[in-house]
């Protein structure tokens, strides 16, 4: 019998199609699109091919936009939003619009031509995390912005383009994305009723129940969510309550790097290097001004959502918000748990 499962945070129902279910190992060969690689503008030595750098981790005394760096942030060459201009809002009859001000930055995670973040060292991944935090803190100073979306598209069918050089993206925006709002509202309603953070409860239940738990490392857990939309979806959550990704201490960054690398390696080894996306879900800026969102510090709990691209998403899924997951979260978790990495 298939099951309908409800995401406890935003209330989305998902069909876990046990009847149609495939065995986890049947996903190990994702449809691979072979696209010719383009010359890489992100390698050391190619600095002139990107816009001028905003941030870098560099060997002392090496000049900006020249070799000698480990990590580099540059503006997107084809930005979705523009940094210049006033934030203007207007109505057009029924409709609302806003000028598209924002920032769109590319975090080049290594000076070498390595594609998958799983193959970076823990120190390199720690640098990436620190860079995210530094850039978010800097972008928060711009009063026009409400949120910074931090995400990664790896592989062509995950939107990673035709250059296989590990990088992530930051988009600072004058609005809160819909899904972030829904999580804030859902977590708030739960808190109002229970006086507890829903994510803290989720962490406790997953640790006790264990059947969706993949890893538990130094203050973090990696789980397949109970109502996962996609096969092998993985969430990484800190055990310690905090709404804000930016609050991570130096040690916590190292530990996050460790668990993130292990999850990404398990996906790579177990599922034959699939395309994937991850998104950091953290609290918005300026939350003291936000009406009932003033309780976000208590309600919300930052986390990372990682979604491999192993199936085609049918149109009705994004048209209805109603997903069908062809593998049970428990089977996916068991499979990933058992993948051995060196």
Binder to a copy of itself among 38, 64, 162, 179 (CB under 8 A)? 179
Query: CA-to-CA distance for 167 and 49, rounded, in angstroms?
Result: 15
Does 99 participate in binding a copy of itself (rule CB under 8 A)? yes
Q: How far is CA 294 from CA 188, 271, 285, in A?
A: 10, 42, 11
Per-residue contact string for residues 185-204; x = within reach of a copy of itself by CB under 8 A:
-------------x--xx--
**Nearest Cα to Cα of residue 109 among 268, 266, 257:** 257
Judged by beta carbon, residue 3 or residue 218, the one nearer a copy of itself is 3
Query: CA-to-CA distance for 51 and 23, rounded, in angstroms?
Result: 46
Judged by beta carbon, residue 127 or residue 168, the one nearer a copy of itself is 168
Judged by beta carbon, residue 69 or residue 293, the one nearer a copy of itself is 293
Judged by beta carbon, residue 45 or residue 51, the one nearer a copy of itself is 51
Mark the segment that binds a copy of itself (CB under 8 A) among 67-75, 134-142, 293-301, 311-319: 311-319
Q: What is the layout of strands, in order, in the sheet containing 220-223?
A: 55-58, 69-75, 103-108, 167-173, 147-154, 276-281, 303-308, 234-238, 220-223, 213-217
Mark the segment that binds a copy of itself (CB under 8 A) among 6-14, 43-51, 105-113, 265-273: 6-14
Size of the residue set binding a copy of itself (CB under 8 A): 72
Q: How far is the CB of 65 from a copy of itself (least distance, A)?
A: 23
Does 19 participate in binding a copy of itself (rule CB under 8 A)? yes
SS3 296: helix
Mark the segment that binds a copy of itself (CB under 8 A) among 124-132, 252-260, 288-296, 313-321: 313-321
Angle at 159 between CA 165 and CA 277, to 5 degrees: 80
164 close to 113: Cβ distance less than 8 angstroms? yes
């Amino acid at each position: 019998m298939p099951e309908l499962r409800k995401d406890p945070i935003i209330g989305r129902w998902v069909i876990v199609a046990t009847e149609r279910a495939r065995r986890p190992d049947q996903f190990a060969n994702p449809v691979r699109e072979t696209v010719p690689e383009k010359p890489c503008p992100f390698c050391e030595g190619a600095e002139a091919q990107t816009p001028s750098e905003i941030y870098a981790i560099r060997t002392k005394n090496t000049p900006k936009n020249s070799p000698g760096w480990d990590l580099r942030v540059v503006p997107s060459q084809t930005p979705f939003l523009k940094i210049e201009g006033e934030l203007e809002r207007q109505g057009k009859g029924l409709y609302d619009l806003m000028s598209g001000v924002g920032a769109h930055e590319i975090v080049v995670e290594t000076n070498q031509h390595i594609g998958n973040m799983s193959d970076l060292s823990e120190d390199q991944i720690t640098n990436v995390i620190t860079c995210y935090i530094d850039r978010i803190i800097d972008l928060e100073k711009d009063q026009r912005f409400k949120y910074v979306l931090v995400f990664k598209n790896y592989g062509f069918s995950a939107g990673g383009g035709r250059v296989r050089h590990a990088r992530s993206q930051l988009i600072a925006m004058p609005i809160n994305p819909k899904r972030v709002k829904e999580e804030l509202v859902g977590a708030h309603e739960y808190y109002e009723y229970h006086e507890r953070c829903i994510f803290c409860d989720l962490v406790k239940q997953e640790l006790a129940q264990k059947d969706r738990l993949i890893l538990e490392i130094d203050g973090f857990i990696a789980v397949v969510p109970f109502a996962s939309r996609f096969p092998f979806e993985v969430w990484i959550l800190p055990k310690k309550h905090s709404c804000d990704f930016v609050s991570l201490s130096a040690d916590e960054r190292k530990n996050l790097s460790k668990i993130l690398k292990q999850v990404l390696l398990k996906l790579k080894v177990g599922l034959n290097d699939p395309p994937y996306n991850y998104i950091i879900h953290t609290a918005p800026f300026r939350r003291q001004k936000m009406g009932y969102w003033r309780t976000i510090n208590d309600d919300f709990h930052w986390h990372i959502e990682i979604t491999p691209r192993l199936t085609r998403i049918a149109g009705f899924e994004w048209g209805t918000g109603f997903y069908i997951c062809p593998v049970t979260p428990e089977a996916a978790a068991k499979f990933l748990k058992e993948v051995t990495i060196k």
